[in-house]
Structure 1
Amino acid sequence: MGFAGGVWRLVRQEELLGEILIDGSDFPWLEGRFVPTPAFAAVEPWFDESPALLEADEIEHFDDAYDRIAQALSLVAPSGPVAEFLLHIADGRAWFRWSDEPFDED
């Protein structure tokens, strides 16, 4: 199944925060142009914080910061919501991986 051209949505409850227009993949990651709605401004700092923590090699703090994203937001594939995801957004681009089942915690 090809993903190019697909549109994924980032939502908080029923509110659309933005759309990801898929234009590339590098298994298990998909990537694309991120088109935010005005509502994205409220959560944008969350996406700015997590890569800074990774760059500083503060993995424990990254996990805590990213949990806020995973708990408050949902990623919706063209076929419907996914069970779990890891999403990064920067400079108008989004890249993510997802699963129909929760990620293994080990």
Structure 2
Amino acid sequence: MSGAGEVWRLLGQDGLIGEIVVEGGDFPWLSGRFAAAPAFAEWKPLFDRELALTEAEEWDEWEAVTAEIHNNLSLAAPGGPVAEFLLHIEGDRAWFRWNAEPFE
């Protein structure tokens, strides 16, 4: 598991979307402060939609939104990209879980 103070990066094809400075977590989730890069503006509506669908428990639509996120963005731990992740972003807060292998 990762520790407080680590910086994780959300990346798109053209570079940095934002950074998450880990402040803590509750296994298997990590949470921290999200610092959006200018490129995040393009992706913010999708993350807003993902969070709304999660809260509404609209899982079929949620799967389509998360597929779009995963097809276009990657999450990189301090040691490099991870194979799979679930990421929620709300304002300057982010919480996520990850795995070195794809989720089943």
Q: What is the TM-score with the length of structure 1 in the denominator?
A: 0.93
**Structure 1 Cα separation of the partners of residues 55 and 95 of structure 2:** 17
* Cα deviations by residue, 1:41-62 (Å, 9 ceiling, x for unpaired): 0111110001211222211111
Would you say how many aligned residue pairs link Structure 1 and Structure 2?
104
Using the TM superposition, give the Cα deviation of residue 95 of structure 1 relative to its aligned residue in structure 2, in angstroms.
0.3
- Residues 1:99 and 2:99 aligned together: yes
> Aligned residue for 1:28?
28
Q: Give the CA RMSD over aligned residues.
A: 1.1
* Cα deviations by residue, 1:30-49 (Å, 9 ceiling, x for unpaired): 00000001111011111000
Instruction: Name stretches of at least 5 consecutive residues in structure 2 with no aligned partner.
Output: none
- Residues 1:4 and 2:9 aligned together: no
Q: What is the TM-score with the length of structure 2 in the denominator?
A: 0.95
> Aligned residue for 2:41?
41
Identity among equivalent positions (%) equals 56
Using the TM superposition, give the Cα deviation of residue 13 of structure 1 relative to its aligned residue in structure 2, in angstroms.
2.0
